[in-house]
A and B are shown apart, each in its own frame.
Chain A
Amino acid sequence: MVFSYHWLQSFFQKKLPQPEKLAEVLTRHFAEVEEVNKKGSDFALNIDIRPNRAGDSFSHLGIAREISAVTGLSLWPEADKYKEIKNKKAGDFISVKVQSKKTCPRYSAKVIDNIKVGSSPKWLQDRLRVCGLRPINNVVDIANYVMLETGQPLHAFDFEKIEGAKIIVRKAEKGEKITTLDGEKYDLDSNVLVIADKKRPIGIAGIKGEKFSGINKKTKIIVLEAANFNPQIIRKGSRKLNLKTDASLRFEHGIDSNLTEIALNRACYWLEKIAKGKPVSGLVDFYPVKVLPKKIKLDLDYVEKLLGIKIPQREIRKILKSLDFKIIGKLVEVPTRRLDISMEEDLIEEIGRIYGYDKIPCTFAVSSLILPQKNLNIFWEDFAKNILKEAGFTEVYNYSFFGAEEAKLFGYPNRNEGAEKKRSFFDYEEKLIEVENPLNQEYKYLRPSLIPALLKNVEKNQRYFPEIKIFELGKIFKSKRTEKRMLTGVMTGDAFYEVKGVVDLLLNKLGISDIWYDEYEPTPEESKLLVWHPKKCAEIKTNGQEIGFLGEVSPKILSGLDIKERTVLFDIDFEKLSQLASEEHEYRPISKFPAAVRDIAVLVPRNVKIAEVLNKIYDTGKKIIRDVELFDIYEGEEIPAGKKNLAFHIIYQAQDRTLTSAEIDQIQNRIIEVLEKEEDWEIRK
């Protein structure tokens, strides 16, 4: 909110610190002054007043009080003496009826006669302009001026336009319409509180005045309203009408009911001075429950205990007094305008901030020695990320959202189309979670998978990088309220085996050795099919459970996302993975006995799986084989059609003796026998 430096100065007899200096002091003790801008000969201070202080500080007087408290400069006594017309009473002009004291705890009004509407003096116009308001005429300007000064919104009615000389504060009725001062038309309903006369609404309570009952050049008598409305009803109305004003802003945050009279007196003072107005004696005032100052107990030991510094009692008294708080024994009486103060901690905050947080020392707490617990979730996350980093993958963070278009491309069910249900791989329960108020269609749902965003990352980066290896470890979301961490990676190129190797490495490093890959043959109902290439996809299994998938991305998705290269994915359930992970690792002694390597080449039909061949070799060789390495797969020239040649190094080694060559030959021959027993398998010699 913007404040005029000159205006603030006018509350003090002594000179204020320079604007920049004043800004710094206020920032340290009150609220951040975001900007100081020169405006003509004046300066505009833009202060970020936090919502708790709106009640007393959305006003120059409020800021001046703060300045006084933090600088020690004293305020001028308020000058608001004016003459009243003794023989006329406000109550003779007008009467007020409030439908509910809950929505309108106070309604005060003054009647001012003999108004000469014209333009306001330049100094007043200048002050309004510095604060961003446009001068209109002296009556409206004074109402605005007093609002900026005291924080109490005021509204002036042309007395002669009020039908039946009666003001009614009530909820609007459905079908009622209003045209505001700026000529805009609004349809009202019972969410909106209005000020009405006998016939129609003449103002939207706390938000904006109405056009025909407003001030014009011919206005002679005005009714000046200063009311207090329930913050919630103003908020609701303002939202309903999508109309925010300087008045609604103040009412929404709540203001002191006792302020109405103060503001009216200020306004009468200026109306008399500037608009030749003659205030009629008395106040029309609906104020059934008077708000009294709160008294709060203050324990000085607690002040010390909470702030961590002993502030002398004298100093505390001085601070409280500087804020207009009264000390009555152990109690502190707080002015009613300080709506933010209701308990002891609030008082301690006042003491702390005025005293200066800078003066509080840095003292480490004396506390029992409790060792931090190891967070295994985070430990394994870090561990897995490091492995992937070392394997050449770059970590990305994507948004937790997911768009409508992607949902369609990836075959996620559309809630409204039952027919689509079949194509989904979800159980019916596992629906997408939809955002009520998405930023846009691109972020309509919470992401049910990390895959779509990672593939989009590939698309975006493919122009700059020939090979892309990225991963993300993050949460996915499924209805009703499931959050699960996934670890998902992508690599471009014909890289199935590379990615498989990375998954092996990752799992091994996480202490999981019992890994195997099952061919994944989804049923047509399962739309994981939509992501995975149906013939190049595997389930990753360990300890008898599926922990994720590995495979090439289907051509349909690649073309849908405009990815030029083949792309291979792994998608692992990280909750399962971190359950299985273990730091235990046992050293296997290096055999003292020499190893011998024999090669074997076998010609098999194309569709024979390597695992099948390996299993036969291991099963035959048992403990004597330390390792079998596949070093070549060959199809093509010199090989019969429909066949492939597999070449292995078999490494023989025993833990307890040197193997003789006769022993090795015997096993090797047995392996050859076993392999040749298979139809169409042939050992190449």
Chain B
Amino acid sequence: MRMAKINLKTLKNKAKKEIEKAKDLKGLNRLFNKYLAKKGELVLILRSLEKLPKARRIDIGKKANELKNFLKIEFEKKSQGIKEKIQKETEEKEWLDITVPGKRPVWGHLHPLTITKRKVEEIFQAMGFSIIEGPDIETEWYNFDALNIPKEHPARDVWDTFYLKNGWLLRTHTSPVQVRYMEKNNPPLRIIVPGSVFRHEATDPSHEFQLYQIEGLMVDKKISVANLKAIVGEFFRRFFEKDVRFRLRPDYFPFTEPSFDIGISCVICHGKGCSVCKKSGWLEVAGAGMVHPHVFKNSKLIPKDWQGWAFGFGLERLAILKYKINDIRLFRSGDLRFLTQF
């Protein structure tokens, strides 16, 4: 009996020492088998107890179990230690040059005009505007006469037009859709009209013969200039994501009265004056005005019953300002060196 007790003590000391000395998981595993496996030393001791009286057996048995648990913990601790050491060593050995460029997934690019158009559409949709489209090939009636631009009127020269041999023309602005839409839909209405427009003019870094325009139209019983200002101001703030100032100044369009030019404080120099805004601090970005009574009439609405405003601006112009693009012709150049930057 004393033997067993002493054996337990020696066993504990011996095992502890050996566990401490173990160098790797393999050795540790061997020790585990030596002491704790089915035929291990501790089991053998426990077996030898069978011959002892019951009371002693319980006492030593309890101690042996404690030793078993103790050793299990020791093994666990040692195993953890060895694993950590190994991991640390591996980590020490490995090294990565984190300055090597990353491998990008292949990803395409949307055209800057698409990105700009989506942004504009999103802002106006949030303000309750529906998006409406119209044809690129127009009649003289919708493009001019219905918009109060009669034949032989000098104003007609302002819109240099591509005429087609089939008798139609390419629309010079998105405004014809005002009439097309109002013919079929009664106010109140709130729409924006994105689309291509065409101007017969020579190109240079700031002129293009095919442009993307967005028209806006809001008509109800009491729509005023003040309402136009509110929507326009909100739009520019959201679009440029900064507090852009804007102003209306007198302008002339045959299909609006009064008519305005909308300018915003230069987004490049913040209104201080630079080459982009020609030192004025202002950038013209849109034409606008209150819908002319003749346009209502030509849309089969009774002018006295309705008031509304309309505006039109070029998407290229907005994209140029937003991305600081220096040549308008890049948009339709198909040049991937340009397009892959967006």
Contact = CB atoms under 8 A, between A and B. Distances in A.
Interface in B212-236: 212, 218, 220, 222-227, 229-231, 233
Interface string B188-203: 1010001010101010
B39 interface: no
Given A306-B307, A370-B190, A433-B164, A392 B107 contact: yes
Given A477-B137, A479-B166, A481-B137, A457 B334 contact: yes
Given A357-B249, A436-B165, A382 B340 contact: no
B109 A433 contact: no
B31 interface: no
Contacts of B259: 349
B334 A453 contact: yes
A439 B247 CA distance: 35
A309 B226 contact: yes
Residue of B118, B125, B154 with most chain A CB atoms under a 10 A cut-off: B154
A231 B130 CA distance: 41
Contacts, number: 228
A232 B150 CA distance: 12
Contacts of A469: 108
Contact of B108 (A389, A443, A453): A389
A582 interface: no
Contact of A437 (B132, B200, B252, B261): B200
A262 to B, nearest CB: 23
Interface in A399-450: 399-401, 433-439, 443, 446
B173 interface: no
Interface stretch (B41-49, B64-72, B84-92, B155-163): B155-163
Interface string B173-214: 000000000000000101000101010101000000110100
Nearest to B132: A375
Nearest to A353: B250
B227 A375 contact: no
Interface string B110-121: 110110001001
B135 interface: yes
B22 interface: no
A357 B334 contact: no
A389 B225 contact: no
B332 interface: yes
- Contact residues of A: prevailing secondary structure: mixed
A401 B136 CA distance: 12
Interface string A317-351: 00000000000000000000000000101101100
A370 B225 contact: no
A352 interface: yes
A396 interface: yes
Residue of A53, A306, A353 with most chain B CB atoms under a 10 A cut-off: A306
Nearest to B137: A481
B221 to A, nearest CB: 9
Interface string A252-292: 11000000000000000000000000000000000000000
A373 B133 CA distance: 13
Contacts of A231: 152, 154
A352 B260 CA distance: 11
A436 B334 contact: no
B318 interface: no
Given A253-B154, A306-B290, A394-B336, A349 B307 contact: no
Interface residues of B, number: 77
B249 A389 contact: no
Contact of B154 (A252, A434, A437): A252
Nearest to B340: A394
Contacts of A535: none
B334 A363 contact: no
A389 B165 contact: no
Contact of A365 (B113, B220, B339): B220
B281 to A, nearest CB: 10
Interface in A366-402: 366-373, 375, 377-378, 382, 385-386, 388-401
A433 B335 CA distance: 27
A435 B137 contact: no
Nearest to A357: B248
Interface in B79-129: 106-111, 113-114, 118, 121, 125, 128-129
Interface stretch (A29-37, A133-141, A547-555): A29-37
Nearest to B226: A308
B258 A308 contact: no
Nearest to A254: B154
Contacts of B111: 395-397
Nearest to B111: A395
Contacts of A352: 225, 258
B131 interface: yes
Residue of A50, A54, A232, A305 with most chain B CB atoms under a 10 A cut-off: A50
Contact of A51 (B158, B226, B250): B158
A631 interface: no
Contacts of A343: 257, 293
B240 interface: no
Contacts of B231: 364-365
A385 B166 contact: no
Interface string B322-342: 000000000110111101100
B301 to A, nearest CB: 15
A363 B226 contact: yes
Contacts of B226: 307-309, 360-363
B109 A389 contact: yes
B292 interface: yes
B274 to A, nearest CB: 16
Contact of A364 (B152, B166, B230, B293): B230
A52 interface: yes
Interface string A43-76: 0000000111110000000000000000000000
A235 interface: yes
Given A360-B225, A388-B108, A392-B107, A29 B290 contact: no
B251 interface: yes
Contacts of A465: 336
Nearest to B224: A308
A433 B164 CA distance: 7
A468 interface: yes
A365 B210 contact: no
A678 interface: no
B210 A32 contact: no
A367 B114 contact: no
Contacts of A658: none
A235 B154 CA distance: 8
A50 B251 contact: yes
Contact of B162 (A51, A52, A372, A435): A435
Nearest to A371: B128
A446 B164 CA distance: 9
B334 A396 contact: yes
B334 A461 contact: yes
A2 interface: no
A175 to B, nearest CB: 26
A460 interface: yes
B154 A480 contact: no
Nearest to A468: B336
Contacts of B130: 372-373, 375
A398 B260 CA distance: 32
Contact of A435 (B133, B164, B260): B164
Contacts of A366: 222
A27 interface: yes
Given A52-B155, A366-B222, A392-B106, 18 more contacts: A32-B261, A309-B226, A345-B293, A348-B257, A357-B248, A363-B226, A378-B121, A378-B194, A385-B110, A389-B107, A394-B108, A398-B334, A400-B198, A401-B210, A437-B200, A439-B202, A464-B337, A480-B166
Closest 5 CB pairs of A and B: A308-B226, A308-B224, A349-B258, A50-B252, A457-B334
17 contacts: A27-B249, A29-B250, A50-B252, A51-B158, A52-B155, A358-B248, A361-B229, A362-B230, A365-B224, A367-B190, A372-B190, A382-B118, A392-B108, A401-B210, A435-B164, A436-B165, A438-B162
